[in-house]
Amino acid sequence: MTEVNQRPQAESMLAGVARLLSSPLAETLPALADVARGVLPLRGLLLYSGDCVAQPVRWYGDVPTGPAVVTAMTQLARTMVIGESRADRVTMGDNEVNALSLASAPAGSAGSVLACVLPDTARPDASATRLLQLLWEITAQKIVVLNARIEPAKLAQSRIASSDRARIVAELTDAHAATLTTMLGALRSAHLADSTARRVATDIGATALVELRTSGDEARSAESETVSDAFAQMADKLVLLMRYHDAELDLSAPKDTDHILPSSVAIAARSLARGAAMTMLAQPSVSRIRVAWEVTGARLHVQVRDDGPGTLAADDFAIRRLAMSLAAVDAPLEVDSVPGWGTTLTATIPLRTAGVPAGHPLEVLNPREIDVLHQLTLGHRNRRIAQELHISEHTVKYHVANILDKLGVGSRGEAAAMARHAGFAPVTSFPNSATRVN
């Protein structure tokens, strides 16, 4: 009799899951809430996504909203472990809510946290918690799949434009987080009087605002930089970031100071160093952070080490976010933590253009020059190339001149012929903006 009585409930839940799986991205949270209400009383849902820079926190139902909630969900995510569920009261700005928090990280995702906001007296049992965890893992995987379909469509106008946008957004997001961390460090410093702390925080904010207004143009215009310049820029940011922390900063500069780095590699290395430092400083008992860069062959090795508790793991949200950003430059992130001794993060970033093997005649070209060369092999003139790659004609002339100089040829036709002779297959190996989005 019990099994017969349970059948309609099971059928209703399966129907809800079917609606959840077929719902568009914008309706995913409402569909998930409908299914979850069949498991336990639910006021609403709060979602933190490690994959979305523009809007990392979303909400649905009778839940607190606003900037304070974004901060609270971000802090909650930093304390969660993938696959973990936690039922407790969570402070959301001026509110304290009873929540069941769930963490999931499907393949290809930086991870996400779902906070199920419950009535104050609700206490989910183990069975309900496990069922909601499974529902959330299904939903998180669905979101990853939908993002994979939708985002390329939004950015499909140009692979180069979208790649530049992603690099600039990552750099500015990191800079924004570092600025806020530095300002909070000054305001909380026990060594500064209140008036001095406010003045320092104001100066930090004003400096960051000037940099914000100029850094986008700089990131767009810079195709490459020396490793010494890239390291010095990173060092300046880290010194500022750690000025009001008690931890000591130890910097080991690369020996090959004149080696040229593609801009994407320099940005990735700087972002790793800064992101790793912020993650490490959030731990207790960190008294030293060491950052070392070294170029060996066609690779840049970046290592960040602390002397903290040694509890950081590859599944931590902050570490996954760093790993996802490095994936764009084909660089794996290694995490080595020893309890009581500290954590070491290491990345080896290839300097060659993706898809160009060592010793290939086109190895000397950077990724943007490869795309311009592709346009040359198609016989396009400067105006058409500028339109295809969403850059100015002046920039096209600059790239063409660099291509001719690097390949040692005297004309555009010779460069195109050399590319074809070297086995350059633009449609399959180096797709243009219409066929691929990074």
Q: What are the start-end ranges of the H helices in 341-410?
A: 367-377, 382-389, 393-407
CATH of the domain at 368: 1.10.10.10
Does 324 share its domain with 346? yes
Q: Is 430 part of a structural domain of the chain?
A: no
207 and 126 share one domain: no
407 and 291 inside one domain: no
CATH of the domain at 108: 3.30.450.270
- Classify residue 69 as exposed, middle or buried by CB count within 10 Å of its CB (0-12, 13-18, 19+): buried
Q: Does residue 240 share a domain with residue 174?
A: yes
Residue finishing a domain among 129, 154, 179 = 154
| 217 shares a domain with 287 | yes
Same domain, 149 and 171: no
Per-residue pLDDT band for 369 (boundaries 50, 70, 90) equals confident
Confidence of residue 8 (pLDDT cuts 50, 70, 90): low
pLDDT tens-digit readout, 382-416: 998 888 877 788 888 888 988 888 888 889 988 88
Highest mean pLDDT: which of 47-56, 255-264, 296-305? 296-305
Residue 355 falls inside a structural domain: no
Q: pLDDT tens digits for 174-212?
A: 666 667 667 767 676 777 777 777 777 777 666 666 555
Mean residue pLDDT across the chain: 78
Regarding whether 116 and 186 lie in a shared domain, the answer is no
Question: Into how many domains does the chain fold?
Answer: 3
Q: Are residues 191 and 300 in the same domain?
A: yes
Mean pLDDT value of segment 161-166: 44
HEC string for 97-128: EEEEEEEECCCCCCCEEEEEEECCCCCCCHHH
H-only helix segments in 189-305: 194-221, 227-241, 263-281
My answer on whether 311 and 258 are in the same domain is yes
Band the pLDDT of 344: cuts 50, 70, 90. very high
| Together in a domain, 390 and 346 | no
Q: How many whole angstroms separate alpha carbon 297 and alpha carbon 369?
A: 21
In a domain, 356, yes or no: no
Do 76 and 181 lie in a common domain? no
DSSP code for 253: -
Q: Among 69-73, 133-137, 165-169, whose mean pLDDT is lowest?
A: 165-169
Closest CA to 36 of 6, 7, 12: 12
| Domain boundary pick from 119, 154, 189 | 154
Query: Both 140 and 77 in a single domain?
Result: yes
Gap between the Cα atoms of 181 and 171, Å rounded: 15
What are the tokens at 436?
């691929």
Domain boundary among 289, 319, 350: 350
Structural domain containing residue 32: 2-154
Q: The CATH number of the domain where 244 resides is what?
A: 3.30.565.10
- What pLDDT shows up at residue 225? 82
> Per-residue pLDDT for 305 more than 60?
yes
Q: What's the pLDDT tens digit per position in 12-59?
A: 778 888 888 888 878 888 989 888 888 889 899 988 887 665 577 888
Q: Which amino acid is at 433?
A: S
Q: Which position has the higher pLDDT, 314 or 164?
A: 314
